[in-house]
Structure 1
Amino acid sequence: MIRLSSFSTAAALLLLAGCASLAPPAAAPVAGPALPAARADAVVEEAWISEQIPDAGLDSLAVWPTEDGGAWLIATAKAADQLVVFDADTGQHLRTVGGPGEQPGQFRRPNGIAVWGDLAFVVERDNHRVQVLGLPDLRPRGFIGADTLRVPYGLWLQETAPGELELLVTDSFMTDVQAGVLPPRAQMDQRVRRFKVQLDQDGSITGTDAGSFGDTGEAGMLRLVESIGGDPAHDRLLIADEDRRVGSTLRDYTLAGRFRGGSLPVFSADAEGVALWDCDMDSGWWIAVDQLTPTLFRVYDRVSLAPLGTFTGERVSQTDGIVLYAAGTPRFPAGALFAQHDDRAVAAFDLRDVARALQLHGHCLP
């Protein structure tokens, strides 16, 4: 993105909605030519944009529901080696934690982040690990993958049994970083690392290496990987491949790590953040970032991956990470899409505004 302690009902429904029995996999689209960076189908005004935090290098986002019915928006600050916490309803900067280092509570290039229950999982690219912190105190609880990961970026979590999670981490190691030389083809099956995460009664966390995956064929190979999102209800992982030499796109995999034979049409710029808007088992949408100025948000049908439209904000640009929170807050009763803005700020879109702009219809919409 482990045992849950205080976990609101709304958040539980949001996080566990995809854990129903698997539906038959839908046919994956075939990769096509690059999409033009044309005018978006709609412009959606941002509900708010936070104050700027210069030189922080904000990147990825996660949401944690608070006991008062609101939520925190937590951003990784890769340049400052910190986490930055905002009020999800207002964008107010609440606190900053961490700093450079290798000790618990310190970070080296934090990138991906995911929240499960009252735990935050933070990928540290340059410490080659996932650090787990408790919420709301953000005190360190443990590390995962320090002996396995090489250049980790993104992550995704799902519950596999009571007190047990599966953690997937993208690992974009290279043979020659400066020259952009990929590893030998035989090593490309290590692009996504799998960990079994066990929660013990005493609150301790244990992460066990459970293998890796990645297709070694030309069509499904994960060359430069970062963001990853999953949909257990449809046995799907969408994994961003940012290698523009072959066309940046999202590749379609099963949860078991098998390439399904297709990818989305090539993006105009980098395929960055990806988020699932989960209405119910058979309806919903994927939202993916095309990293342009302004940022182009591409919307796809949850089941077929058919493109349904695009939108931009009025100001949001050069987005890396996004997170969608559908449980609702006082400011966003139908949920919100949060996006990083130009490395220095975060922004929010009301999902009702997105739905109206693209004429989306689903059970989750008012």
Structure 2
Amino acid sequence: MKTQISTSIFKVLFLFFLSSTILISCKNEEKKDSAEKITSEENSSSDNQKGKAVLKEAFHTDRDLGDNVDSPAIWHGKDGQNWLLATAKEGNAIIVYNAEDGSFIERFGESGDGEGAFSRPNGITVIDDFLLIVERDNRRVQVFQLPSFQPLGFFGDELLQKPYGISVSKTGENTFNAYVTDNYETPDEQVPPVEELGQRVHYFSFKIENDKVVGEHKKAFGDTEGEGILHKVESILIDEEMERLLIADEYSEQRNIKIYSPEGEFTGEIISNKYFDSEPEGIALFECKADTSGYYITTDQSDDYNKFEVFDRKTLAHVGTFGGEITTNTDGVALTQKSYGDFENGAFFPVHDDGSVTAISWSDIAQALELKNNCE
């Protein structure tokens, strides 16, 4: 009897020891897998950081976080003006700086819904001597004559719900096309169901006549199924020569740039989220009209590791990554290829952390990434 009891106890102890050993082994494997995953992610981040060229900014405008600066634009006037203009979302104004050294020139606008007033100005662009401002909370695009800031009216106010970004192309004398992103949400401020995302971009034509803007809504578009769905939109760029609309999808599970045709059809091309650790934001174009070569420069917006990704204009191949010494948390960007002041081959202008704008010489970017200095 004692022998049977001892044998039973031994079996129980053996099974307990065996199961404990297996459990510990499994936990160690889980820890190992987790550690390998973390190490892999850290190595990937480290590899990305090693590939980032860090460049010294040429200038940094005065900072005011109360303005909540969002997006910049560049205007080169006929009388030698070189202006850097930026939207102040909370300040309900347009701030004008000297694009040669970043010094303050003037501040334009006030809160309101009349002509010349703003309610959360966000997107901004300049074409010829016309300035276009997207007002998120006035739900419209307002147009001004430069350099006087004479209001020429607005369009889109009966259609847009929560507009953000804008890109414009010229079609004739004082006639243009405009593409405006509309990031409308559900009542609880969530991304709507995919079947309701068919109006993420609005396509307008407009003309300036008798000092007034006359706009016409062409269509609204956005896929509601497949890879072309536009979940969370803000930045947009029209590249007319390449027949492309580059649209940044900031949704956390997307983080990519989808490419549509100017007519509003998804092309099937996507700039992958493997280049964006955070949110894809402002998009700029360096273009050479003679041979359609050039680059797309896109923001990967981050408080911790803000960077700018550069892609070949023709092939969409990734060609390099750069950042500024101080520039971080970038929303909008602008680029000029004009030679002026100390910028022999133009400059790149990113917003810096909601309060100011910096400038990085294109010559410095081109040298660091072995890109074209100019189109000659």
Q: If the length of structure 2 is used for normalisation, what is the TM-score?
A: 0.84
In 2, Cα distance between the equivalents of 1:304 and 1:181?
A: 32
* Cα deviation 1:70-128 (Å, max 9, x = unaligned): 41000000011111001001000111111211111111110000111111100000000
Pick from 291, 296, 299: which aligns with 1:286?
296
What are the equivalent positions in structure 2 for 1:48-63 lying under 5 Å apart? 48-63=59-74
In 2, Cα distance between the equivalents of 1:177 and 1:211?
A: 27
One-letter identity of the residue aligned with 1:251: K
Pick from 110, 117, 141: which aligns with 1:130?
141
CA contact under 8 A between 1:115 and 1:121: conserved in structure 2?
yes
- Indicate the residue corresponding to 2:285 in structure 1: 276
CA contact under 8 A between 1:171 and 1:225: conserved in structure 2?
yes
In 1, Cα distance between the equivalents of 2:171 and 2:198?
A: 23
The structure whose RCO (Cα within 8 Å, separation 6+) is larger is 1
- Rg larger in 1 or in 2? 2
Structure 1 position 186, deviation (Å): 3.4
Q: Does 1:219 align with 2:227?
A: yes
One-letter identity of the residue aligned with 2:292: D
Unaligned runs of 5+ in 1: 1-32
- Indicate the residue corresponding to 2:24 in structure 1: none
Structure 1 position 196, deviation (Å): 1.3
- Indicate the residue corresponding to 2:237 in structure 1: 229
In 2, Cα distance between the equivalents of 1:67 and 1:331?
A: 19
One-letter identity of the residue aligned with 1:234: M
CA contact under 8 A between 1:326 and 1:335: conserved in structure 2?
yes
Deviates more, 1:168-177 or 1:335-344: 168-177
Distance of aligned partners of 1:258 and 1:73 in 2 relative to their CA distance in 1, 3 Å threshold: same
Structure 1 position 133, deviation (Å): 1.2
Pick from 337, 347, 352: which aligns with 1:336?
347
Pick from 189, 203, 206: which aligns with 1:197?
206
Pick from 210, 217, 222: which aligns with 1:209?
217
* Cα deviation 1:15-59 (Å, max 9, x = unaligned): xxxxxxxxxxxxxxxxxx9x8473043111111111112310000
Structure 1 position 265, deviation (Å): 1.4
CA contact under 8 A between 2:345 and 2:373: conserved in structure 1?
no
In 1, Cα distance between the equivalents of 2:213 and 2:314?
A: 34
Distance of aligned partners of 1:294 and 1:95 in 2 relative to their CA distance in 1, 3 Å threshold: farther
Structure 1 position 176, deviation (Å): 3.1
Structure 1 position 66, deviation (Å): 2.5
- Indicate the residue corresponding to 1:22 in structure 2: none
CA contact under 8 A between 1:70 and 1:330: conserved in structure 2?
no
Structure 1 position 285, deviation (Å): 0.4
In 1, Cα distance between the equivalents of 2:353 and 2:75?
A: 23
Where 1:169 maps in the other structure, the secondary structure is strand
In 1, Cα distance between the equivalents of 2:188 and 2:268?
A: 28
In 2, Cα distance between the equivalents of 1:261 and 1:106?
A: 40
* RMSD (Å) for aligned C-alpha atoms: 1.7
One-letter identity of the residue aligned with 2:256: T
One-letter identity of the residue aligned with 2:218: A
Where 1:233 maps in the other structure, the secondary structure is coil
Pick from 216, 239, 248: which aligns with 2:247?
239
Unaligned runs of 5+ in 2: 1-40
- Indicate the residue corresponding to 1:12 in structure 2: none
Distance of aligned partners of 1:346 and 1:94 in 2 relative to their CA distance in 1, 3 Å threshold: same
What are the equivalent positions in structure 2 for 1:44-123 lying under 5 Å apart? 44-123=55-134
Structure 1 position 257, deviation (Å): 1.1
More helix by share: 2
- Indicate the residue corresponding to 1:29 in structure 2: none
CA contact under 8 A between 2:191 and 2:232: conserved in structure 1?
no
Structure 1 position 332, deviation (Å): 1.1
One-letter identity of the residue aligned with 2:150: R
CA contact under 8 A between 2:132 and 2:141: conserved in structure 1?
yes
Deviates more, 1:297-306 or 1:208-217: 208-217
CA contact under 8 A between 1:294 and 1:313: conserved in structure 2?
no
Distance of aligned partners of 1:157 and 1:181 in 2 relative to their CA distance in 1, 3 Å threshold: closer
Matched residues, number: 328
Structure 1 position 300, deviation (Å): 0.2
Where 1:190 maps in the other structure, the secondary structure is coil
In 1, Cα distance between the equivalents of 2:99 and 2:343?
A: 9
